[in-house]
Amino acid sequence: MSTASRLPGIAFTDHVFRVPLDHTAPQGEQIEVYAREVVASDRSEDTGLPWLLFLQGGPGGKAGRPLGRDGWLERALDDYRVLLLDQRGTGRSTPATRQTLTRRGGAKEQADHLAHFRADSIVRDAELIRRRLLGDDRRWSVLGQSFGGFCTLTYLSIAPEGLDRAFITGGLAGLRSSADDVYRAAYPRVVRKNEGHYARFPQDVEAVRRIAAHLADAPAVLPDGGRLTVEAFQALGLLLGGGSGSGTLHYLLEEAWVEGAAGPELSDTFLAGAQAQLSFAQGPLYAVLHESIYGQRSVDPAGTGWSAARVRAEFPEFDARAALESGAPVLFTGEMIYPWMFDTDPALRPLKETAELLAARADWPDLYDPARLAANEVPVVAAVYHDDMYVDTADSLETARSVRGLRTWITNEWEHDGLRVSGGKVLDRLIAMARGEA
C-alpha cells in the first residue's frame, strides 16, 4: 500500500509492508512496517536514482518527519532517493507501547514479543523491503545514525549482499563489548561532559545542588503524574551529549524556581521542561530495549541484568546525596536506563515486569559476525566523534580496524548529533570519502 504527497522541495510516498514478526517463522504472525520514500521534487520521475535507506538512532526511535529539504536530507537528495524507515514498533509501524502490549497477555508474553525487536529483526525487515521495492538484484546504500549504525554493522554481518555502500555516523558499536564494558567506559565520559558543562556555566553548580537538595527531601510531581526524584533529575544529563544540549540544560535550570504562597517552589515551566526531556511516552522501546542492544550470548551469557545500574555503583561520584553532604557538584548521568524509571514514568510503569524479564534474558543471539566483517567487501565510511558521550571512541576505532575496508573520519567539530545539526556537512564528507574525493 502506498500514497503520494508533496512538501516544499520534496515529493514523498508512504509505504506499508507486511513482515513476519519472527523472520524464522515467515508464515506466522505478521506486523506492519512503515517507510516514507523521499525524493527531490524535480527528480521524482527519475527511476534510475540510487536508493539510500536511513536507519534512525534509538533504539525505539521513529524516523524523522521532514518538512522540506532540510538537514542532512538537503545533501542526500542531491544523489539519492531516500527511504525513511520507522523501525518495527515505532511511529506508523505496528506500535509496541503500554497501550498495545497488554493485548499480548502478561509480562512473559510481552517480553517474548519484544525479543523480536532488535537489530537483527530490523535488518531482515529492511532486506524484505529492499526486495519488494527494488527487486532481488538491485542494491541500496544505508545511512545509520547512532543505533542505526549498530544496525548497519548487523546488516553487514547477515545480509551484505543487499548493500552497495554503508555510511555510519556516531554508531560503530563494540563488536565484543559486553553491556558492563559499555557502561564502564561511559560513566567517565559522562563525568567529562559534566565538567565541561560546569566550566561553561559555573553558576549551575549551586543551581543544581539547590534543586537536588529539594528533590532529595521531597520528589516533585510532574504534569503527567510522574515523579521527579533526585535520580530522575540527574537523568537530564542525557542532554549533554548533543551540540546544544549544555545550553538547553542551562536555560531549563534558569527558570527552576518561583515564589509560591509557602515560599520558593519548583516552577511549572521547569517541571514541564523536565518532563519533556524525561518522559518515554513517545518512545517507550528506548527504555525497555536499551540494554538489549548490547546483549549477545558470546559476551553477555547471563544477560545484561540492569548493567547501567550495577556498574554505576563503581562510580560513587554519581551519588547525588553524597555530593550534597560533601559539598561536591551533583553530577548528571547520561543515556543510562535504570529500573527505577519504570516506577517514576507513567508511560513505563505497566512495562516494569516486562523490562525485568528482558534484563534477565540470557539467550540473546549475537548481532555481529566478526569473521564476515573481517572479510567485508561493501565500501563503508564512518564518522567517529572524538568527544561522543554516547558511543565509546575506543570501541569505535577497534571496530573500524575489524571491518575490512572501513574508513573513518575522526572529528571533534561535531557532537553525537552532527548528522542532524551540520546542515548536510557530515553526510557530504562521508559521500566524498566513499567516492575517493576526501
Positions annotated as catalytic residues are 146, 363, 416
Residues linked to residue 383 through DSSP beta bridges, in sequence order: 169, 409
Cα–Cα distance measured from residue 202 to residue 34, given in angstroms and rounded to the nearest whole number = 46
Burial label for 262, CB within 10 Å (0-12, 13-18, 19+), is: exposed
**DSSP letter string over 26-91?**
TTS-EEEEEEEEEEEGGGTT-TTPPEEEEE-SSSS-PPP--SSS-THHHHHHHH-EEEEE--TBST
- DSSP characters over 363-376: -PPPS--HHHHHT-
- The letter for the amino acid at 413 is E
Contact 89, 178 (CB under 8 A): no
Collapse the DSSP code of 144 into the 3-class scheme (helix H, G, I; strand E, B; otherwise coil) and give the result.
strand
User: 94 and 35 in contact (C-beta within 8 Å)?
Assistant: no
| Inter-residue contact 111 to 361 (CB < 8 Å) | yes
The Cα 113–Cα 111 span in angstroms is 5
Residues 6+ apart with CB under 8 A from 146: 57, 58, 169, 170, 171, 390, 391, 416
Contact by Cβ (8 Å): 337, 235:
no
Alpha carbon separation from 260 to 230, 231, 264, 422 (Å, rounded) = 21, 24, 6, 42
Q: Using alpha carbons only, how large is the chain's radius of gyration in Å?
A: 22
Q: What angle do CA 357, 62, 18 make, to 5 degrees?
A: 80
* 30-40: strand order across its sheet: 2-7, 10-20, 30-40, 81-85, 51-55, 140-145, 163-169, 380-385, 406-411
φ, ψ of residue 295 to 5 degrees: the values are: -70, 120
